[in-house]
Chain A
Amino acid sequence: MGRYIARRLIYLFVVLFVVSVITFGLMHAVPGGPFDREKKLPKEIMENLNKRYHLDEPLVMQYGRYMYDVMIPHFSIKAPTSSLLDDHLFNVKVGPIWIKWMNFGPSYSSRSRTVNDIFRDQLPISMQLGLMALFVALVIGLPLGILAALKQNTIFDYLGMSVAIFGVSVPVIVLGPILIYIFGVSLKLLPPTGWGAKPPYVLGFLPAKLDWNFWKYAIMPPIALGLGSSAIIARLTRASLLQVIREDYIRTARAKGLQERLVITRHALKNSLIPVVTILGPMFAALVTGTFVTELTFGIPGMGKYFVTSITNRDYPVIMGTILLYVVFLVIANLVVDILYAYLDPRIRYD
């Protein structure tokens, strides 16, 4: 298993390399640049800006420079500063020497911030929101799917699947404002927008204090965001469980005289979870790296908007940073899914 995980982590770097080349190529192929305005900047200023950010160099040079800054650890006797061009994600002091690693560069459009600032300030908030939404999705989706499958073609099934169809069909952009209107504006139970957690975070992303000041902001958005995913999980669980309870070994379990409850919990559930676990990987990666519409609707200062605005702004370092971050989350989430497979199904082994 250890060797398998090591191999997959090496594979992560291969994926990162390929994605970085494609992204880098595509974003430079799109017309326009980060400093193009409707009213053109004077030629001298453009030249100076391009020179400062090395945009006047050949693309291969620019790519090499970027990868050098991100991947190669830098050794220096100088302590980390708040310089925009010298901001590293990891700074470790060994004796008198500072080891600095992963400089994702400055943001071109948010002039006073670096990509690492976004990772440090916005990513934890998106992760908090995403994890709670995933929790909501599982807590609603799994029981709904199981109930619908066990009571197939009854009122429970139809009701459960109606909720599921409602969940997939009503987007956050509709559900969010409705929730805000009911609970935020009319009933005034919850603040309509905002987010309660502030740095420093435990383990880099968990809020330090889980009090009402955190929760009052963290009820509506995870529900609005998680409901769509819960519908997908519910439908998948139902379909998978319906298939499993037609298997021969379920008949065997019944023929042995097992209580129906045991037939389901011991023999059917574990087998039916594999497709559900499969979808959790990409779902996790998509939810925790920021969700544009949800964060916009509820005024949450998360990562979501950077995925979208960085592209319209041709903010090259932010585009690269957010995409590579997404890849890391996706590959690691899928690795965790594959490890879960081995736990769920003893036929799957990785040695």
Chain B
Amino acid sequence: MTDLLTVAGLETQFRTREGLVHAVNGVSFNLKEGETLGIVGESGCGKSVTVMSMLRLIPSPPGKVVAGQAIYQGKDLLKMSDEEIRHIRGAQISMVFQDPMTSFNPVLTIGRQLAEPLEIHNGLSLQQAYDRAVQMLEMVGIPRAKERLNDYPHQFSGGMRQRVMIAMALICSPQILIADEPTTALDVTIQAQIVELVKRLRDELGMAIIWITHDLGIIAGLADRVSVMYGGYIIEEALVKELYANPTHPYTLGLLNSLPRMDETDHRRLYSIDGLPPVLLEKPNYCPFAPRCAYAVEHCWHENPSLIPVGPGHTVACWVDPATGRER
């Protein structure tokens, strides 16, 4: 399979009152056709900023993509003109956002908002676009789709709205769907429904997916490959089975240990990683996880590790091998 999207050395900063925030520090990854890539990490680790930077949706000022490239179909998304990237947004790369309550315009009907990408990118008339919108709504499982076109977002429940959001993202048959924590704001039962829906749509439509989440449980059943982010860096990347079977970075280990397990028999306290997420006001010259890391050695405080291969398709940014506790 060929690479659909290649991101290299992406760096994004925000100018704030407190100083320059280094939100994303040289992130590189690639996405193959039809593949599902999971990006995992805690709040503020830079996962959303990474994908928003790619589509140039970072509010600027204060945000700025200062380095890197994102090659899609031989062209750099970060260097193309505003008009060029506009034709890619929503048509070839589209996004589903976290909060379905606030991500729809409250004063426009669902039909109007669904039809917009088709009008802009495919030159369809409003009527043609409405017909296609009905098909999409039926596809994502909205009952009485035709009547509901004239409803406003507040007349839908949260789960239904996220379905409509997915329909809207897929209405132009994009090659890449970026889902930015699409299930975080939903009930657990609805979360499962949305994940199932996306899986089904992926099998039917064959688009590649970048799924951002902090929920390792969702990723396990959905992604082909996972990138774990911490403090604006990707610190581990592996095929999904490899990552769960053989987590190597102490942070990934910590995350997996923090999951409550159904088959737990001894009633111990749920594990949590000590300390707080890093303040990103400076680019550290040490490992950003070192202050919270149980395995940290002297070396970790002097040099920030870069990704090194530890297995087939498995890379990790750590000086220490947690299996032995010794420096690599």
Residues of A within 8 A of B (CB): 153, 246-249, 251-260, 262, 266-267, 270-271, 344-347
Interface string of B78-91 (1 = CB under 8 A from A): 00001000111111
Determine whether B148 belongs to the interface, using a CB cutoff of 8 Å to chain A.
Answer: no
CA distance A129 to B82 in the complex (A): 47
In the complex, what's the smallest C-beta–C-beta distance from A250 to chain B, in angstroms? 8
- CB neighbours (8 Å) of B90 from chain A are 255-258
The chain B residue with its CB closest to the CB of A343 is B107
In the complex, what's the smallest C-beta–C-beta distance from A159 to chain B, in angstroms? 19
CA distance A248 to B105 in the complex (A): 8
**CB contact under 8 A between A248 and B120, given known A255-B90, A257-B86, A257-B88:** no
CA distance A246 to B152 in the complex (A): 21
Across the interface, do A255 and B57 meet the contact criterion of CB distance under 8 Å? yes
In the complex, what's the smallest C-beta–C-beta distance from B46 to chain A, in angstroms? 17
**Tally of chain B residues near chain A (CB < 8 A):** 29
Across the interface, do B102 and A247 meet the contact criterion of CB distance under 8 Å? yes
Across the interface, do B97 and A251 meet the contact criterion of CB distance under 8 Å? yes
In the complex, what's the smallest C-beta–C-beta distance from B11 to chain A, in angstroms? 21
CA distance A246 to B57 in the complex (A): 12
**B residues 82-115 with Cβ under 8 Å of A?**
82, 86-91, 94-95, 97, 99, 102-108
- CB neighbours (8 Å) of A259 from chain B are 86, 120
- CB neighbours (8 Å) of B159 from chain A are none
The chain B residue with its CB closest to the CB of A153 is B61
Which among A246, A257, A271, A346 has the highest number of chain B CB atoms within 10 Å? A257
The chain B residue with its CB closest to the CB of A273 is B107
Across the interface, do B107 and A257 meet the contact criterion of CB distance under 8 Å? no
Across the interface, do A249 and B104 meet the contact criterion of CB distance under 8 Å? yes
- CB neighbours (8 Å) of A347 from chain B are 106, 152, 154
Determine whether B168 belongs to the interface, using a CB cutoff of 8 Å to chain A.
Answer: yes
Determine whether B121 belongs to the interface, using a CB cutoff of 8 Å to chain A.
Answer: yes
Across the interface, do A248 and B103 meet the contact criterion of CB distance under 8 Å? yes
- CB neighbours (8 Å) of A345 from chain B are 106-107
The chain A residue with its CB closest to the CB of B105 is A249
Across the interface, do B57 and A251 meet the contact criterion of CB distance under 8 Å? yes
Known: A248-B97, A271-B107. 12 other contacts (CB 8 A): A248-B103, A249-B102, A252-B97, A253-B116, A255-B90, A255-B94, A256-B94, A257-B86, A257-B117, A258-B120, A262-B120, A345-B107
- CB neighbours (8 Å) of B124 from chain A are none
**Chain A binding site: helix, strand, loop or mixed by DSSP?**
helix
**A and B contact pairs by CB, cutoff 8 A, 29 listed:** A246-B59, A248-B97, A249-B103, A249-B104, A249-B106, A252-B105, A253-B105, A253-B116, A254-B57, A255-B55, A255-B57, A255-B94, A255-B95, A256-B90, A257-B86, A257-B89, A257-B117, A257-B120, A257-B121, A258-B86, A259-B120, A260-B82, A266-B108, A267-B108, A271-B105, A271-B106, A271-B107, A345-B107, A347-B154
Q: Which of A248, A249, A255, A271 contacts B89 (CB 8 A)?
A: A255
Task: Pick the 10 closest A-B CB pairs, nearest first.
Answer: A257-B90, A256-B90, A257-B89, A248-B102, A249-B105, A255-B95, A346-B152, A248-B103, A256-B117, A252-B103
Interface string of B48-59 (1 = CB under 8 A from A): 000000010101
**CB contact under 8 A between A256 and B89, given known A247-B102, A346-B152, A347-B152:** yes
In the complex, what's the smallest C-beta–C-beta distance from B216 to chain A, in angstroms? 25
CA distance A246 to B117 in the complex (A): 21
In the complex, what's the smallest C-beta–C-beta distance from A276 to chain B, in angstroms? 14
- CB neighbours (8 Å) of B95 from chain A are 252, 255
The chain B residue with its CB closest to the CB of A254 is B57
Across the interface, do A258 and B116 meet the contact criterion of CB distance under 8 Å? yes
- CB neighbours (8 Å) of A258 from chain B are 86, 90, 116, 120
- CB neighbours (8 Å) of B57 from chain A are 251, 254-255
Q: Which of B88, B99, B105 contacts A267 (CB 8 A)?
A: B105
CA distance A75 to B106 in the complex (A): 53
- CB neighbours (8 Å) of B86 from chain A are 257-259
CA distance A248 to B57 in the complex (A): 11
Across the interface, do A346 and B106 meet the contact criterion of CB distance under 8 Å? yes
In the complex, what's the smallest C-beta–C-beta distance from B89 to chain A, in angstroms? 4
Q: Which of A153, A248, A260 contacts B99 (CB 8 A)?
A: A248
In the complex, what's the smallest C-beta–C-beta distance from A341 to chain B, in angstroms? 11
In the complex, what's the smallest C-beta–C-beta distance from A244 to chain B, in angstroms? 10
- CB neighbours (8 Å) of B108 from chain A are 266-267
- CB neighbours (8 Å) of B106 from chain A are 249, 271, 345-347
Interface string of B113-131 (1 = CB under 8 A from A): 0001100110000000000
- CB neighbours (8 Å) of A256 from chain B are 89-90, 94, 116-117, 120, 168
Across the interface, do B91 and A257 meet the contact criterion of CB distance under 8 Å? yes
- CB neighbours (8 Å) of A346 from chain B are 106-107, 152, 154
